[in-house]
Amino acid sequence: MNSRDNDRQRFFTRRAALLAGGQFGLLAALVGRMYYLQVVESERYHMLAEENRINMRLLPPSRGRILDRFGVPVAINEQNYRVLIKSENTPDVSAVLDRLAMIIPINADEKTRILKEIRRKKKFVPVTVREFLEWEDVARLEVNAPDLPGVTIDVSERRFYPNGIAAAHVLGYVGAPRREDLTGDPLLELPGFRIGRSGVERAFDKPLRGTAGASQLEVNAVGRVIRELDRQEGDAGRDVVLTMDMALQRSAMRRLGDESGAVVVMDIETGGLIAQASTPSFDPNAFTEGLSNAQWRALADNERAPLRNKAIAGEYAPGSTFKMVVALAALEEGVITPKTSFFCPGHLELGDGKFHCWKRHGHGHVDLVRSISESCDVYYYEIVRKVGIDKIAEMASRFGLGTDLGLDVPGERTGLVPTKSWKRAVIGQPWVLGETLVAGIGQGFVLTTPLQLVTMTARMVNGGKAVFPHIARDVTRRGDLTERVPREQVSIGVDAGHLDLMMKAMAEVTLDPRGTAHAARIKVPGLSMAGKTGTAQVRRITRREREGGVRTNDELPWRFRDHALFVGYAPVEKPRYAIAVVVEHGGGGSSVAAPIARDILTETLERDPAKLAPGADVAGLRGPSRQGT
pLDDT at position 500 is: 97
From 87, 251, 278, 320, the catalytic residue: 320
d(CA 412, CA 407): 7
CA distance 609 to 597: 20
Q: What is the dihedral of CA 473, 475, 479, 480, to 10 degrees?
A: -110
Query: CATH classification of 246-293+309-472+497-611, choosing from 3.40.50.150, 3.40.718.10, 3.40.710.10, 1.10.10.10?
Result: 3.40.710.10
Question: Which amino acid is residue 214, in one-letter code?
Answer: A
8 Å CB contact between 298 and 286: no
Q: How many CB atoms lie within 10 A of CB 150?
A: 18
- Residue 545 has what pLDDT? 58
| pLDDT computed for residue 223 by the predictor | 47
Could you read off the pLDDT of 71-126 as tens digits, one per residue? Answer: 999 999 988 888 888 887 788 888 888 888 888 888 888 888 888 888 877 776 67
Query: Beta 66-67 vs 239-242: how paired, if at all?
Result: parallel
Task: Give me the pLDDT at residue 628, please.
Answer: 41
pLDDT at 487 (0 to 100): 66
Query: What confidence score (pLDDT) does residue 610 get?
Result: 75
Pick the CATH number of 57-242 from 3.90.1310.10, 3.90.45.10, 3.40.50.300, 3.40.50.720: 3.90.1310.10
CATH 3.90.1310.10 residue spans of the chain: 57-242
320 is catalytic: yes
Per residue in 531-569, pLDDT (tens digit) is 999 999 887 765 555 555 555 667 788 788 899 999 999
Q: What 3 state SS string does 414-454 have?
A: CCECCCHHHHHHHCCCCCCHHHHHHHHCCCCCCEECHHHHH
Please report which helix (H) or strand (E) contains residue 502, including its range. Answer: helix 496-511
- Residues in the chain with pLDDT values less than 50: 48, 50-51, 222-223, 478-481, 613-615, 617-629
pLDDT at 627 (0 to 100):
38
